[in-house]
Amino acid sequence: MKNKYFCIKFYVVFFLLVVISYSSFSQNCYPNNWWVGMKWNKVQIMVHATAIADALQNVTTNYQGVKILKINKVENKNYFFLDVAIAPTAKPGIVKFLINKTGQSFTVNFELKARRPGKGQSYAQGVTSKDFIYLIMPDRFSNGDESNDKIAGMRDQTLNRDTVFNRHGGDLQGINNHLDYLQDLGVTTLWLNPVIENDRAERTEHGYAFTNHYKVDPRLGGEKAYHDLITATHKRGMKIIQDAVYNHVGLYHFTIQDMPMKNWVHQWPDYTNTTYKDQTLFDPYAAKKDYRQMADGWFTKQMPDLNQNNTYVANFLIQHALWTVENFGIDGWRIDTYAYNDLDFMNRCNKALMDEYPAITLFGETWVHGVPNQSYFTENNYNIPYKSNLQGATDFQTLWGITDALTKDFGWTEGVNKLYTILAQDFVYKDPTRNVIFWITMILTGFIR
C-alpha cells in the first residue's frame, strides 16, 4: 500500500512539474504578428527558445485561412522556422500554433492584424525632389524624457555630453517636442539614424549595430515613442525615413550570441575585414578573391557580416523591412552600407518593398568615388549583366562637386567645372532626381532645449 501511495504521489508531483514547465516556457517569435491582405502572404516565423526543436514532433493550427507549409529544423535546437501561408480570406485574430514535443505541448500565439489604412497617402508615401530632408541622430538632438537616459541592464551606461563617444540622452520625445521648429525651417521629411535596439558596451549613440530587430531602443523611448513621433509627423503633412541596416548586426544580437546555424554570418578561417573597394564588384577583370573579400568581409570586428545568401537570413531581413513599414507607417528607407550587401539579395528586398508599397522611396548609402561607381548601384542606363532596381543613392559625387565649387579655383577639372562635369553625367541614371543631394555641416551648439 505504501508503494502504491508513493507511486501516486510521484506521478502527481511529476505532472505538476510538467505543468509548471509548460506554464513557464518562454519563446520569442520573429515576427510576432503579420497582417491580412498582404502580398507577402507566405511568412517564415523564427521561433527561438531553449531546446525548442529538441524532440519536436509537429506544429498544428485550426485557424481558418492559415496553413502550415513546412517546419524547418536547423543546426541549433534552440530554433525552428515555421513556414505559413495566409489566405486572402483570412480574418484578423489570434492564430494559435500548437507545438507538440515528446511529453509536452504548448501554444504560441501569433496575431493577424487588419492593415493600416492610407497606404501611399498617409504612410509609405515616398519622398521626391520637392522634399527637404533633415537628418537627425536621435541621441544628439534633444532630451525629451530624462527617465530613459539610462536603462538598467543595458551594457552602455554612459551619459556624458562632454565627449562624442558617450551617449548624450537625446530621444524620440525630444524630436517630437520640436516639430514646430523643424517645420519652421521648411523641413518636410525627417530621416533618423537607426532607432532599433543597439545594446552593446560602447559607442551606441549612432545605432548601427542592432541587437534585436523587433525592438525600438528603450533609451530612445521604445516603440510607443516611435509610434507617437510618426503619428505627430504625419498629422503635420511631414514624412519619415528610417535607416535600414541589412549588411551586418552587432556582436550582441541574439542571432549572434545564439546562432541558428553556422552560416548565418560569413565565416572565415581568421578574421577578415572587407577591403572597402567597391571597384571589385563591377570590374570585369577583378579576382574572385578580391570580390569575395569586399562583399563578404566584415565591416568591423564588432559588426558580424550577415550571409544574405542564406534563405533564412534573407527572409528574416525582408520580412522585418515589410513589418516595419506596416507597423510604424514609415515613408521611405535609407539603406546603410549598400555596396557591402549581396546585391542580388538587395534587388529581392527592394522588389518586395516596392511590390507592397508602390510609392515608397528607397535610396542607398553609396560612399564611393566616381559617377560610374555610384550609378552602378542604382537604376541606370548601362547595358551590363547586373541591373540594380535601387531608385537612388546618397549623392556623394554631387556633395564633393559642391565642395570643390566653393573651395577651389576655377579650372578645367576643378572648382565649378568639376561640379558641372559631375552633374552633366546625370544621363547614366534612369532617374537622377531620385538621388539624395546633401551637404554636410557641423552643429556645435549641442542640444535643442
Whole-Å CA distances, 313 to 12, 307, 333, 343? 44, 7, 19, 14
Residue partners of 310: CB distance under 8 A and separation at least 6: 261, 263, 264
**Spatial CA neighbour of 124 closest among 393, 335, 322, 351:** 322
Residue 380 grid coordinates: 541606370
Q: Which of 197, 365, 395, 404 is catalytic?
A: 365
Catalytic (active site) residue 290: no
Strands 79-86 and 66-73: antiparallel
Can you list the alpha helix ranges (DSSP code H) found in 38-103?
none
b/e burial code for range 380-407 (CB count within 10 A of at least 16 → b): beeeeeeebebbbbbbbbbbebbebbee
Judge whether 365 counts as a catalytic residue: yes
- Rounded CA gap, 141 and 190, in Å? 12
- Say how many Å lie between the first and final Cα of the chain, rounded: 79
Q: Is 324 helix (H, G, I), strand (E, B) or coil?
A: helix
In Å, how far from its chain's centre is CA 83? 21
CB 63 within 8 A of CB 48: no
Q: Can you say whether residue 399 is alpha, beta or left, with left for phi > 0 and alpha for psi between -120 and 50 degrees?
A: alpha
Round to whole Å and give the CA distance between 425 and 167.
41
Q: Which triple of cell numbers denotes residue 90?
A: 483570412
Catalytic residue among 139, 197, 331, 336: 336
> Residue 447 burial by CB count (10 A; 0-12/13-18/19+): exposed, middle or buried?
middle
Q: Where are the beta strands (DSSP E) in 114-207?
A: 133-136, 189-192, 196-197
What's CA 209's distance to the chain center, in Å? 10
Residues noted as catalytic? 336, 365
